[in-house]
Amino acid sequence: MNHPRSAFGAPPGDRRAPPASRGTASGPAKPDPRRPLGSAPVRGSRTYYHFKPYNVGRWIVWGLFALVLLLAPKLWTSSFAHTMLSQMGIAIIVCLSYNVLLGQGGMLSFGHAVYSGLGSFLAIHTLNLVSAGKLGLPVSLVPLAGGLGGLLFAGALGYVSTKKAGTTFAMITLGIGELVWSMSLMLPEFFGGEGGITGNRVAGTPMFGITFGPQVQLYYLIAAYCFVSTAALFALTRTPLGRMLNAVRDNPERVEFIGYSTQQVRFLAFIVAGFFAGIGGGLAALNFEIVTAEVVGAGRSGAYLLFVFLGGATFFFGPIIGAVLMVIALVLLSELTQAWLLYLGLVFLFMVMYAPGGISSLIMMNLRLAAFGKLRALWASYLALAGTAFVILVGAGAMIEMIYHLQLNAALGPEMKFMGATLNSQRFDTWFGAAFVLVTGIALFELTRREFVRQWGTIQEEVEKEIKRRELL
Amino acid sequence: MNLRPQDAARRPPGTGTDPRVALGERPARGGPAPGTPALELRDVHKNFGKTQIIRGATLAVQPGERVAIIGPNGAGKSTLFNLISGRFGSTSGDILLNGRKIDGLAPYEINRLGLARSFQVSNLFTRLSVFENIRCAVLWQLGYRYSFWRFLADLRDANDRTEEVLEMIKLHKRRDVLAMNLTYAEQRALEIGITIAGGSTVILLDEPTAGMSRSETTRFVNLIREVTAGKTLLTVEHDMGVVFGLADKIAVLVYGQVIAFDVPDAVRANPRVQEAYLGSVLADAQVASVGP
C-alpha cells in the first residue's frame, strides 16, 4: 500500500535510490541481534527505503498537472474564464502555502491573508516603481517582490506567533491579523486608504513581445508560478524540514527530545508559507491591478482556512481542490444566488461533521476501495445518495431563496424564479410544497444513508481482511 | 570519524568507513577527562510551589554503567528524569552530562549533547509511519538539521540507519504502518527505537515495560539489553524482574533523595533501604529474578 502522502507524486528531480541491493521480498537477512549499536554494518541487511524502481505514476500526475495548466485557457476561451482561471492559479498557490501551516504543521492560522495581502501591496508598489521607470525589473518578476515581502513579514511577525503552538498560536495570528487590518486604515500612504492602490501591469520593456496586457498572457505567467510553487511545496514535504514539520504537528513534545527545537521548525515553516503566500499576493496584484485593504482582512484569512479545510488538509493536493472551489464559490456562486454565503456555511458545516478530511480524503478513501476492486458495489448507493441529496437541496433551496426574496426583493413582487420554475413567495401552497419536498428528501436521504453506512462498513471489513491476508503472504 | 553526512551519502556503498559507526561512538566535544561520570547529579533540588519533590539528589553514573532507579510511588523518580532530560528546570543544584553542566538547557540542546529518553506513556508521531518515526529521530544527529534543500530519499546514511534500528527493534515488517495503528507492545518498541536511534550515549528509559504482560516483558528486557549495549543506561522501573534483568547497579530514591546506590546485593542488604523502602518488595523481587 502506498502511503497516502505519496499520492501526488514527487517533483522531477527527486532521484530514487537504485533498487540493486534490495533484500528478498520477505525481508532481508537478519543481522546478529547482539551486534552493538553503531558497529560495522552487515552488508546483507541493506535495504533502501525507496525500492520502487521508477515511479511512473508521479511523472504522469505532474505531466497531467502541467497539461491542465497549459490547456485550460484553450478549453475555456472567454475572457471571463481566463480571469477565473487566473484567480484559481493564484488561489492554488496561497492555499497550498496555507496548508504548510494547517495540514503539515498543525498550525491553525487565522491570519494568512496578512502575508498574501502584504505581498500584494509590496508587489503593486514595486509595479508602480517599474511603471515610473525607477526600477528596471521585468513585470514577470514582480510577484517575487511580493514573495519577498511575505517572507520578510512572516519572519518578523512569525517570530512572535510561532513561539507558541495550538490555541495560543491561533490567537496570536488572529491578533496580528486585526493589527495589520487596523494599520491599513492608519497608513494610507502604504495601503492607499479606502480606494486602495492601483497599478498598470503593462510596464517596463516587454520581453519577447509579452506585455501581460491580454489576460491570457498573464494567465500563463500565473500558471508558471503555480506549477513551480506547487512543485517546490511538494518537494518541501520530502525534505528533513518538511518531515520534522509533520513530527511537530503530531507530537511537539517528543520532537524536543530528538534534537529539534519545535519553535525553530514552526518558524521556518511559517516563513516558507509567508513567502509563497506573498507570491500568490503578488500575482493577484498583477491580475487585478488594484490592491485594497480588504486583502489583508480577516474575511480573506477565513476564506483560506475554510476552503483549505473543504479541499482537505490531510493530503498535499487537497488545497488545490479547495482553491478551485474557492474561486468557483466566490465568483460563480455569488453570481447565482444572494444566499451563497449561507449555502457555503452549510456545506462547511456538513463537511466538518461528516467528512473532516475534506474532499481529498473522500477521494482517497474511494481510490483505496477502487484499488481493491470494491468501488463498483457502491455505485448504486452513491447515485441514490446524490439523488436524495438533490431533493433536499431543491426543497431547502426553494425556501431559502423565498426568504431572501421576501427580505431583499419584496419590491419586485411576490413572483420569483427558482431553478427554471416560477414560485410565488407569498402563497401558502408554495411554502407547503417546498417543505414537503424538503422533508421527503431528508427522509429518503436518511434511509439511503443508513443502507450506505451498512454497506460501507461491510466493504471496509472485507478490505481489512484482504490486507491481513496479503500481509501473511 | 568526522565524515560529514553529505560526503557519506555520496560515497558508493561498500567503501570506506560506514558513517553509522560515528553515531554510536560520538565523543563529547572536547572529550571529558578520564573518570568523568557520564551523568552526575550534585545536590539537585526541585520544588513545585512549596512542595519539595527532589531534595538534594546526588548521583554519579560512570560511562557504560546500567542503573535502575527504584523507589516507592511519589519518590520523585519521573521528576528526576524530567529534570535530567530538560523537561523541567531544577530549583537548585547541578546536573552534568560528561562533565558538562546541562541544567537550564532546553531538551533539544541536551539531546544534541548525547542524552536521549523514552516516556512512560508512548510518545510517538502518531500519524507518521514506523519508518518515518525512526527517521525523524536520526536526522539531527546525522547533521541534517532543518535542511529543506535535500530530499529525504537521498539521505542514504539516514535511511540505512533507520533500517538498522527497525531491525533492532523488530519492526521492519511494520515499517509502513502508522504509529497510531501499532499494537501496544509494538508502540513500546517504537518508543525505545526513537530513543536509541539518534545514537545518544546516555539513555534514560522511563518504565519501559509498563503495561506489558509477563512474556512480553521478558522479551522486551532482552530487546532493551541488545539495543543499549555499550551505553550508559538509566531506567525507572517498578518491576523487579526488569530491574535485575537490566541493571548492574540500583539507585534507591526515597522522598527525593538517593539513599543508596550500589550493586543489587549491597542495596538489598542496606539497612536504610530496608527501613525506608519495603524489604518485602526486594524479597519478592529476588524470587522474581530467578524466573527469567
Q: How far is A219 from chain B (nearest CA, A)?
A: 29
Q: Which residue of B has its CA nearest to A14?
A: B151
Whether pLDDT at B96 is above 60:
yes
With bands split at pLDDT 50, 70 and 90, how would you rate the model's confidence at B285?
A: low
Inter-chain CB proximity B126 and A17 less than 8 Å:
no
**CB A91 within 8 Å of CB A222:** no
| Cα–chain center distance at A142 | 24
The whole-number pLDDT of residue A4 equals: 41
CB-CB: which of B147, B168, B196 is closest to A239? B147
Using alpha carbons only, what angle is made at residue B4 by residues A235 and A269, rounded to the nearest 5 degrees?
Answer: 30
* CB < 8 Å to B147, chain A: 239-241
Contacts with A, B 32-71, CB within 8 Å: none
| Closest of A292, A302, A349, A290 to residue A326, by C-alpha | A302
B168: in domain: no
Which candidate from A31, A47, A243 shows the least CB-CB separation from B136? A243
Q: How much is the pLDDT for B287?
A: 53
CA separation for the pair B281, A17 (Å, rounded): 54
Chain A residues in contact with B199 (beta carbon < 8 A) = 37-38
3-state secondary structure of A453: helix
What is the residue whose three cell numbers read 495589520? A180
Q: Report the C-alpha gap between A418 and B8 in whole angstroms.
A: 69
From B126, which residue of chain A is nearest by alpha-carbon distance? A250
What pLDDT, on a 0 to 100 scale, did the predictor assign at position A291? 95
Single out the residue of A279, A330, A340, A251 nearest to residue A117, CA to CA. A279
What does the radius of gyration of chain B's CA atoms come to, in whole angstroms? 19
Which of A10, A240, A258 lies nearest to residue B150, judging by beta carbons? A240
* Nearest-CB residue to B198 (from A242, A259, A264): A259
Q: What is the mean pLDDT of residues B101-122?
A: 94
In the block, cell 539507585 appears at B251
Q: Provide CATH code, domain A56-357.
A: 1.10.3470
B111 touches chain A (CB under 8 A): yes
For position B35, what pLDDT does the model report?
81
- What single-letter amino acid sits at A49? Y
Chain A residues whose beta carbon lies within 8 Å of the beta carbon of residue B111: 256-259
A470 touching B, CB under 8 A?
no
- For residue B13, the chain A residues in CB contact (below 8 A) are 21, 46
Please report the residues numbered 235 through 274 in chain B whose beta carbons come closer than 8 angstroms to any beta carbon of chain A: none
Q: In this complex, do A36 and B24 lie within 8 Å of one another by their Cβ atoms?
A: yes
Q: Which residue of B has its CA nearest to A12?
A: B151
Q: Report CB contact under 8 Å: B111, A259.
A: yes
Partners of residue A47 in chain B, C-beta under 8 Å: 163
* Contact residues, B window 119-148, toward A, CB-based 8 Å cutoff: 119, 123-129, 131-132, 135-137, 139-141, 144-148
Query: Rounded to a whole number, what is the distance in Å from the CA of A149 to chain B's nearest CA?
Result: 20
- What is the nearest CA distance from A97 to chain B, expressed in angstroms? 15
Q: Which residues of chain B have a CB within 8 Å of the CB of A3? A: 129, 176
The residue of chain B with its CA nearest to that of A236 is B148
Tell me which of B185 and B1 has the higher pLDDT: B185
pLDDT for the residue numbered B24: 44
What is the per-residue pLDDT across B146-178, written as a single tens digit (0 to 9) for each? 999 999 999 999 999 999 999 999 999 999 999
Q: Specify if B183 maps to a domain.
A: no
Contact flag A249-B124 (C-beta cutoff 8 Å)? no
Unique residue bearing C-alpha cell 501581460: A212
Domain count across chain B: 1
Phi, psi (degrees; rounded to nearest 5) at B249: -130, 155
Contact between B127 and A27 using a beta-carbon 8 Å cutoff: no
Predicted TM-score (pTM) of the model is: 0.84
Q: Is B5 inside a domain boundary?
A: no
Count of other CB atoms within 10 angstroms of residue A106:
20
Chain segment A373-388, per-residue pLDDT in tens: 888 888 888 999 999 9
Cβ-based neighbour number of residue B241 at 10 Å: 21
Report the gap between the CA of A170 and the closest CA in chain B (Å): 22
Q: CA of B272 to nearest chain A CA: how many angstroms apart?
A: 35
Q: Closest CB to A259: pick one of B108, B119, B168.
A: B108
Q: Is B9's Cβ below 8 Å from some Cβ in A?
A: no
CB contact under 8 A, A246 and B117: no
Picking from B23, B129, B147, B152 by the largest number of A CB atoms within 10 A of its own CB, the best residue to mutate is: B152
Look at residues B123, B122, B56, B121 and name the one whose alpha carbon lies nearest to residue B83.
B56
Report how far residue B60's alpha carbon sits from residue B117's, in angstroms, rounded to the nearest whole number.
18
Residue A81 or residue B13, greater confidence:
A81
DSSP A132: T
Asked if the structure places residue B23 within a domain, the reply is no
Could you tell me how far CA A304 lies from the centroid of its own chain? Answer: 8
The answer as to whether B203 is a domain residue is: no
| Domain residue extents for chain A | 17-51, 56-357, 372-472
Q: Which of A14, A258, A272 sits opposite B140 (nearest CB)?
A: A258
Asked whether the beta carbons of B159 and B193 are under 8 A apart, the reply is no
- Write the burial class of residue A453 (CB in 10 Å: 0-12 exposed, 13-18 middle, 19+ buried): exposed
The distance of Cα B34 from the centroid of its chain, to the nearest Å, equals 22
| Shortest Cα–Cα distance, A269 to chain B (Å) | 10
Handedness of CA B95, B98, B101, B107 (dihedral sign): negative
- Provide the domain limits for residue B50: 35-114+238-292
Q: What single string gives the DSSP state of each residue in chain B?
A: ----HHHHHHSPTTSS--HHHHHHT-PPTT-PPTT--SEEEEEEEEEETTEEEEEEEEEEE-TT-EEEEE-STTSSHHHHHHHHTTSS--SEEEEEETTEE-TTS-HHHHHHTTEEE--SS----TTSBHHHHHHHHHHTTTT-TT--SS-GGG-HHHHHHHHHHHHHTT-GGGTTSBGGGS-HHHHHHHHHHHHHHT--SEEEEESTTTT--HHHHHHHHHHHHHHTTTSEEEEE-S-HHHHHHH-SEEEEEETTEEEEEE-HHHHHH-HHHHHHTTHHHHHHHHHHHH--
In this complex, do B167 and A41 lie within 8 Å of one another by their Cβ atoms? Answer: no
Average pLDDT for chain B: 84
In a domain, B242, yes or no: yes
- Residue B284 has a pLDDT of 53
Q: What are the φ and ψ backbone dihedral angles of A329, each rounded to 5 degrees?
A: -65, -45
Surface of A (7-36) touching B: CB under 8 A: 10, 14-17, 21, 27, 30-31, 33-34, 36
The C-alpha cell of A25 is what?
521480498
Residues of chain A with pLDDT under 50: 1-51
**A129 in Cβ contact with A198 (< 8 Å):** no
Q: Which of B11, B85, B148, B163 to mutate to test the interface with A (most CBs of A within 10 A)?
A: B148
Confidence band, pLDDT 50/70/90 cuts, at residue B2:
very low
Q: Is position B216 within any domain?
A: no
Of B136, B148, B167, the CB nearest to A45: B167
pLDDT band for position B132 (50/70/90)?
very high
Query: Per the domain annotation, does B195 fall within a domain?
Result: no
Locate cell 491476508: which residue? Answer: A469
Residue A354 in contact with partner chain B when CB distance is under 8 A: no
Q: SS3 of A81, please?
A: helix
Which positions in chain B touch A235 (Cβ < 8 Å)?
151
| pLDDT tens-digit map of B62-77 | 999 999 999 888 888 9
**CA angle centred on B25, ends A246 and B152, rounded to 5°:** 25
CATH number of the domain that residue B55 is part of: 3.40.50.300
CA distance A266 to chain B (A): 11
Cβ of A253 under 8 Å from any chain B Cβ?
A: yes
